[in-house]
Structure 1
Amino acid sequence: MGKKIMLQGTASNVGKSILVAGLCRVFKQDGHNVAPFKSQNMALNSFITKEGLEMGRAQVFQAEACGIEPNANMNPILLKPSGNHRCQVIVNGKVREDMASSDYHKYKPQLAKELKGIFKELSDNHDIVVMEGAGSSAEINLREHDIANMGMAEIADAPVIIVGDIDRGGVFASIAGTMLLLSEEERKRVKGVIINKFRGKKELFSEGVRMLEDIIKVPVLGVVPYSDIKIEDEDSVTTRFKKQMNKNDIHIEIIRTPHMSNFTDFNIFETQEDVSIRYVDYGEALGNPDIVIIPGSKSTIDDLKYIRENGLEDQIKELHKKGKLIFGICGGYQMLGKKLKDPYHVEGEVEEFDGIGLLDTETTFEMEKTTTQVEATICDNLDGYMKNLEGKKVVGYEIHMGITSISKDTKNLNTINKKLEKPVNYLEGSVNQKGNVVGTYLHGIFDEIDFTRTLLNNIREIKGLEKINSDVTSFDEFKQNEYNKLADLLREHLDIEKIYEIMS
């Protein structure tokens, strides 16, 4: 069995996912075969592996930092909230069932047995496994049957490092309080502390570090400064939605619906110097963007109701009349059609619901979820914003319950030529005749720079601006460089030698 280390937090959003990715890259650079692991992840952001299995996106970017292919064993339990204290429980990449939170808590002992075997297999095949906890280490009301934090550390017999976030304030109290609330056996597992997101002068903080060590009786392994390294956030508890980007030549507005999923689809735009992004939150109105994006959704009909009730549907239609580009992905694609039919009550009691009606399509929700990776090429004879894109390669993955049919007057967006790495040939997506309303099931479609940069240059041309090239020619290469920057940051500010010692 390989070595292991587990990072747990004093709370959610303290930076565990990023630190795990950074340590994964450090160990990879040192010549080790490394893998990430998070036993239980609650997020609407998910990914489909080459085997067609679903997992959380945090372990995907951590796997990228390790230089290995993502595997559902790295995130064996994925919980996708569906409202009313219920969630879809995905185990080993496949939907097991929808459960109430109380029923899930009772089900945890069974899952704990499965986790033991899954983790052993992962550990047997790697030199090091870098584990991540969920939320806080000291959720005392959930201690019984815990499988996310100390419960998982016990299953794996892993040493633990506690991460505290100084940026939100009260880091000394949060770390000391966490240690206080742990049981004696749990405290024995904690071998060190990392203070994350530091913005001040380190020399003025050294006395505080010494005082904290005296209180908690474990070493502070480093104080990591806040850094704007562009790596994916783990879930919707992210500052990305509140970030106001400067208004540039091309402005994109993304509707943040209550059940929005896979917002990582839009990270690529942050690498383009002429693009600004704004997430339109509850109570906010659309401005005058060049592109409006309706993202994926865990509950399409509920999110469509939200858009309608908040006046956003009328604003979308008005922007469409002005010739702006309206782009829907997955659930957003379904909403743009004329009808959404739910004969099996997959999403609720209503069997038929009117869509926004900007695409001549109809979607029928099915009982079985589609989960697949695909490769495709953009169709020819597209107009408007979609001109000059014919034959360009796009890659992505599909996660949806619906099947969408299109009218003869609606054009297809792309031809799928590979599915789960096997050759296929079928059409996907929709584009209206004018080329200013587009829908697709492909998450990650914008990650191909050639496709995205050509689309952005089409907008520039329509606005009378000169076309420009992207400084980023490969999104994957860009991310690899960011992982290396992160590793450099951790080597400078963490006691990596001590972490190796802890694992031994």
Structure 2
Amino acid sequence: MGRALMIQGTSSGAGKSLLTTALCRIFSNLGYDVVPFKSQNMSLNSAPSIEGGEMSRAQYLQAIACRKKPSVRFNPILLKPEGNMRSQVVFMGKPIGSVSAKDYMLSQKEELFQKAMKVLDGLKEEHDLVIIEGAGSPVEINLKDYDIANMRVAKFAGAKVILVTDIDRGGSFASIVGTMELLSEEERDLVLGFVFNKFRGDASLLKPGFDYLEKRYGKPALGVIPYVEHRLPEEDSLVEFPKVKGELHIQIVRLPHMSNFTDFEPLHWANGVDYVTKAEEIKGDVVIIPGSKNTVEDLLWMRENGIEDAILEAYKDGAFVLGICGGFQMLGKEIIDDFESKRGKIKGIGLLPAKTVFKAEKRTNHLEARVLWGPAEGMSVEGYEIRMGRSLSERPFSVITSVNGAGTLEPEGAIGERAIGTYLHGIFHNFAFTERFLNYLRRENGLEPVSVEEWSIEEEIEKFARVVGENLDVERILGGLGL
């Protein structure tokens, strides 16, 4: 039976996901057979698993860090917020219904927890080490009795726990003390030590606090991780969307149910983007409508708030418009949705020659495609799809040539006069395409062409893990795990 190490935080946003990612790569580099696990994740930022089901993007990244194929077993329960205190429940990659927060807590949660623990047992049997990510804080008084993602998981797995805190926010020592005081004695015994994350300054100045924690709890500070600029995706629950205007003014509509915002990270680095939520803000050279967990509701939100009219006005004035997944569906002529929003036929924005019909079955696949859009015609790109909609277009954006490695020829997306739409999440991570896309628009706006720096998630994981490893007492963690 393998060992288990769990990363919990003093709050949401403490850095659990990325610390888990770094530890996955550190232990993999040491030669251990390691996998990630999170019993329940709430996120709109999802990705397809090797089984074809849907999983959290955080555990997808952690699987890559472990050098494993992303599996729904690493994230058995995924909650996708729908608004109005409701979420879609995805179990082992497949949607099993939509429930209110209260109904989920009182009815489904316990049954799903027991099933998730069977999955965790299986992972422990098959691997040397399971690195488990917690959720939020382990001691929220109103939630602790319903916990299925923190100390209850640690106790079930016999996991040693590292408690991480975001020192950049301030109040880290108080947060650790408060967390430790609210844990039971049995739970405190599981804590191996503390990690202070996102530190800027002289770590020696923290020593009096470390001495206090060790004296009070007999637990050491295991490391101080410096604030690191990186290109690894953050969790969407607390991400701070930038408002950075580049030479080419790219604006992204921040939809209420916006999903898969990681699609646009390469644009952040190559040009800068400006996220907008109001009609009067829309003045860009390029306007992008992103993916959505609830396409029709977000389309109606844009319509009611004047954003649709503002996009059409910007389009008339020469702006280029792009839609990805849900955004592509909105830009078509009409949507028929009897499954997600159940609103039936809805008029689209009308900038693309496409019509979309929603189906009960969600497609979650890795894709390879050949672009048909003029400025990038003939380019091969990769991405993934997570969608219930099926769209027909008079002028497709690309031809899918491979679905999960199996050859096919299937048109997707649409091309308009000065608008394009595609189902390919992650298309901008194809850096040659991104360079071609940006330079086409830069030339139109009288700007000199640019070269887009290529980088890979693999390289970013390795660089980040190296920084964490240099500032963490890995030997002490190994000793605590008996490895």
| TM-score calculated relative to the size of structure 2 | 0.95
Match runs of 1:11-22 below 5 Å: 11-22=11-22
Provide the residue aligned with 1:160 in structure 2.
Answer: 161
1:213 paired to 2:214 = yes
Match of 1:253? Answer: 251
Could you give the per-residue CA deviations for residues 384-416 of structure 1, whole angstroms, max 9, x where no partner exists? xxx23122111122112222223xxx4110111
1:68 deviation in Å?
Answer: 2.0
Q: Distance in 2 between matches of 1:210 and 1:48?
A: 45
1:347 paired with 2:341, answer yes
Structure 1 residue 145 displacement after superposition: 4.2
2:331 paired with 1:311? no
Unmatched 5+ residue regions in structure 2? none
Matches within 5 A, 1:237-252: 237-239=238-240, 241=241, 243-245=242-244, 247-252=245-250
The answer to whether 1:392 aligns with 2:379 is yes
Secondary structure of 1:451's match?
Answer: helix
Specify the alignment match of 1:296 in structure 2. 291
CA distance in 1, matches of 2:274, 2:238: 16
Preserved contact between residue 145 and residue 151 of structure 1 (Cα < 8 Å): no
Structure 2 equivalent of residue 335 of structure 1: 330
- 2:363 corresponds to: 370
Q: CA–CA distance in 1 between the matches of 2:340 and 2:450?
A: 45
Shift of 1:208: 2.0
In the alignment, which of 261, 266, 281 is matched to residue 268 of structure 1? Answer: 266
| DSSP 3-state at the match of 1:276 | coil
Structure 2 partner of 1:467: 449
Is contact 1:198–1:224 with CA below 8 Å preserved after alignment?
yes
Runs of 4+ in 1 over 4 A off after TM superposition: none
Residues in 1 aligned to 2:279 and 2:175: alpha-carbon distance in whole angstroms: 34
1:71 matches 2:71: yes
Moved more, 328-337 or 417-426: 417-426
- Could you say what secondary structure the match of 2:274 adopts? strand
Query: Match of 1:120, SS?
Result: helix
1:426 to 410, 423, 427: 410
State the one-letter code of the partner of 2:310: Q
Q: Secondary structure at the match of 2:31?
A: coil
Number of residues of Structure 1 aligned to a counterpart in Structure 2: 481
The CA RMSD over aligned residues, in Å, is: 1.7
Q: Is residue 176–residue 216 contact of structure 1 (8 Å, CA) maintained in 2?
A: no
Higher alpha-carbon deviation: 250-259 or 201-210: 201-210
Aligned position for 1:496: 474
CA distance in 1, matches of 2:346, 2:379: 35
Could you list the per-position Cα deviations for residues 409-445 of structure 1 after superposition, in whole angstroms to 9, with x for gaps in the alignment? x41101111112211111110001x3x2111111112
> SS of the counterpart of 1:370?
strand
Unaligned runs of 5+ in 1: none
Amino acid corresponding to residue 70 of structure 1 in structure 2: P
Q: Which amino acid aligns with 1:484?
A: E
* Aligned twin of 1:356: 349
Aligned CA distance change for structure 1 residues 398 and 11 (closer, same or farther; 3 Å): same
Confirm or deny that 1:228 pairs with 2:232: no
* CA–CA separation in structure 2 for the residues paired with 1:36 and 1:251: 39
When normalised by structure 1's length, the TM-score is: 0.91
What SS does structure 1 have at the residue aligned with 2:7?
strand
Answer yes or no: is the 8 Å Cα contact 2:413–2:421 preserved in 1: yes
Q: Deviations over 1:23-62 (max 9, x none)?
A: 1111122222221111100000100123311000001111
- Preserved CA contact (<8 Å) 1:80 1:88: yes
Native 8 Å contact 2:191 2:219 kept in 1: yes
Deviations 1:143-164 (A, max 9, x none): 3342100111122111111111
Q: Is the 8 A contact 1:286 1:312 kept in 2?
A: no
Whole-angstrom CA distance in 2 between matches of 1:259 and 1:215: 44
Are the structure 2 counterparts of residues 119 and 190 from structure 1 closer, same or farther at C-alpha, using a change threshold of 3 Å? same
Aligned match of 1:91: 91
